Amino acid sequence: MVTTQQRETGMKAQDAINFGKEKGAKMVDFKFCDMVGTWQHVSIPMTELSATTFEDGVAFDGSSIRGWKGIEESDMVLLPDPATATMDPFMQVPTLSLLCDVVLPETLQAYERDPRQIVKKALAYMQSTGIADTAFFGPEAEFFIFDDIRYEQTSSSGFYSIDSVEGTWNTGREEAGGNLGYKARHKEGYFPALPTDSMHDLRTEMCLEMDRLGMTVERHHHEVASGQHEINFRYDSAVNMGDKMMWFKYIVKNVARRHGKTVTFMPKPIFGDNGSGMHMHMSLWKDGKNLFAGNKYAGLSEMALHYIGGVLKHAPALCGFINPTTNSYKRLVPGFEAPIKLAYSFKNRSAAIRIPNSGPNPKAKRLEFRTPDPSANIYLAEAAVLMAGLDGIINKINPGDPLDKDIYGLPPQEAAKIPSIPGTLEESLNALRDKGSFLTKGDVFSQDLLDTWISYKIDKEVRPVQQRPVPYEFHLYYDI
């Protein structure tokens, strides 16, 4: 994977072609992110790649991609970014991988629903204000590794079934070679050593694949829930980090598949145990200086506090992008370290925004927004949170007083006074529709994108889930 320095100097088209030839590439794979946040791809022989490919792009049918063009205007173009040239680590035939922006065929201008282009526009808007020249992000996406996943929905039945060798529900199961135990109880899976942490070597293999692509891994460990894990890699500028998060998900899923296992980034796949978050660390820089370092609360600058004010004010609307699935709100409930209260605090993991105790080094000063989850489209999440923070800076939004208490342990009357995030995806989408105008500044998020996102989520996710009975309803209501 390209380094930050390579991206700044720019890898030209011929450099990318030469790189592929040096690595013995036989095929070229063009990857791009759809509106929901999943990679799509198309491949061509290496012999078909030329400098003009980077100028004219690769045509494809945009009507077949979720939330994009209608069939009557389906022609679209992938414009490969030569700075992203790397070798795909999972394809059997040596394959050069190039990440792409999506553009319109008649003008080669950015397609307004392309997530990667939206985060670029957010950065351009930030730079146009003169506030900062660089936005650094460090998302921490948790995930589950399972041995088996089965699910089905028909008009007369519906079920899901997950299984993991680590599952505490399997303590009484007969297993090949005997049941050896070592299955962490619910909420007790954080940092166990081997043999309870049965996936240590698998995570290490994931880390090594990330390292080969130029991603600097900082740590990996077992997380709280059965089968839950976390791998952290070093922060980077917004576009770079978006690209790396897409590679991260790709690597984790494919390494697991090598070993006959499956990975999900669903926020809450297991009832009664912790869900997966994607805590986002953030800071703004200008001329090599961290603008969030200062002499205000917890060593932050006034700018950082105003950034916090913007994020907290706009959090209900942000949830439409940072917690974008109906499953997201199965995680965001009391009792599971869920960051649902819109407060900020130093060191305190019960607040939606935490200021890590990073010591005296001003370069390390940052915010940690704990509400997002890994079902989010990383590009849209970065762009939306950045726009909220910038709105806070521009309008000097006061975040109020910090809350240096364990929010989870507050009496109900006191907890009720602290604003909360929306309780459902539909409520978040309504907030996005009614109070999302801050996202359209600088033409970063178009109204067309916002309308399309909201209608897609309502029509394809919210309503279908509402219309289907779930097994627990039979337990509750069958004999009424």
Do 398 and 292 touch, CB atoms closer than 8 A? no
* Nearest C-alpha neighbor of 296 from the set 305, 306, 287: 305
Confidence of residue 7 (pLDDT cuts 50, 70, 90): very low
From 116, 229, 279, 354, the catalytic residue:
279
pLDDT for residue 71: 59
* Pair of tokens at residue 348: 């305190």
Average pLDDT value over all residues in the chain: 93
230 is catalytic: yes
Residue that has been written with the tokens 């077949």 in this structure: 64
From 186, 200, 349, 433, the catalytic residue:
349
Span 229-245, average pLDDT = 97
Span 421-434, average pLDDT = 97
From 29, 166, 209, 230, the catalytic residue:
230
What is the CATH class of 4-105? alpha beta
pLDDT digits (tens, 9 = 90+) for 267-324: 999 999 999 999 999 999 999 999 999 999 999 999 999 999 999 999 999 999 999 9
From 48, 55, 56, 61, the catalytic residue:
61
CATH H superfamily, domain 134-477: Glutamine synthetase/guanido kinase, catalytic domain (3.30.590.10)
From 29, 101, 114, 223, the catalytic residue:
223
DSSP 193-254: PTTT-TTHHHHHHHHHHHHHTT--EEEEEE-SSTTEEEEEE--EEHHHHHHHHHHHHHHHHH
pLDDT digits (tens, 9 = 90+) for 181-228: 899 898 888 999 999 999 999 999 999 999 999 999 999 999 999 999
pLDDT for residue 318: 98
From 101, 112, 243, 368, the catalytic residue:
368
Instruction: Compute the distance between CA of residue 398 and CA of residue 344 in angstroms, rounded to an integer.
Output: 12
Percent of the chain at pLDDT above 90?
84
For residue 360, say if its preceding peptide bond is cis, omega within 30 degrees of 0: no
From 140, 373, 382, 426, the catalytic residue:
140
Residue that has been written with the tokens 């909420």 in this structure: 187
Span 48-66, average pLDDT = 93
368 is catalytic: yes
From 88, 142, 209, 243, the catalytic residue:
142
* Pair of tokens at residue 299: 């060593």
Q: How much is the pTM?
A: 0.95
Confidence of residue 73 (pLDDT cuts 50, 70, 90): low
pLDDT for residue 416: 85
55 is catalytic: no
Per residue, the 3-state secondary structure of 28-68, as one string, reads EEEEEECCCCCEEEEEEEHHHCCHHHHHHCEEEEHHHCCCC
Please report, for residues 71, 122, 284, 311, 430, the alpha-carbon distance to residue 388 in angstroms, rounded to integers and kept in the order given.
34, 11, 13, 5, 17
140 is catalytic: yes
Assess whether pLDDT exceeds 70 at residue 113.
Answer: yes
Percent of the chain at pLDDT above 70?
96
pLDDT for residue 100: 97
Domain ranges in the chain? 4-105, 134-477
pLDDT digits (tens, 9 = 90+) for 161-190: 999 999 999 999 999 889 998 998 988 889
* Nearest C-alpha neighbor of 304 from the set 354, 234, 339: 354
pLDDT digits (tens, 9 = 90+) for 329-364: 999 987 667 789 999 999 777 889 999 998 889 999
Q: Which stretches within 323-462 are classed as H helix?
A: 328-331, 378-394, 412-415, 425-435, 447-457
29-64: burial string, b at 16+ Cβ within 10 Å, e else: bbbbbbbbbeebbebeebeebeeebbeebbebebee
* Nearest C-alpha neighbor of 139 from the set 371, 326, 312, 315: 371
479 is catalytic: no
pLDDT for residue 441: 98
From 7, 113, 314, 370, the catalytic residue:
370
pLDDT for residue 2: 45
Span 251-259, average pLDDT = 98
- Report which DSSP code applies to 437: G
Instruction: Compute the distance between CA of residue 15 and CA of residue 30 in angstroms, rounded to an integer.
Output: 17
Assess whether pLDDT exceeds 70 at residue 8.
Answer: no
Do 149 and 162 touch, CB atoms closer than 8 A? yes
DSSP 100-117: EEEE-TTT-PBPTT-HHH
Please report, for residues 152, 320, 428, the alpha-carbon distance to residue 329 in angstroms, rounded to integers and kept in the order given.
21, 11, 10
- Report which DSSP code applies to 72: G
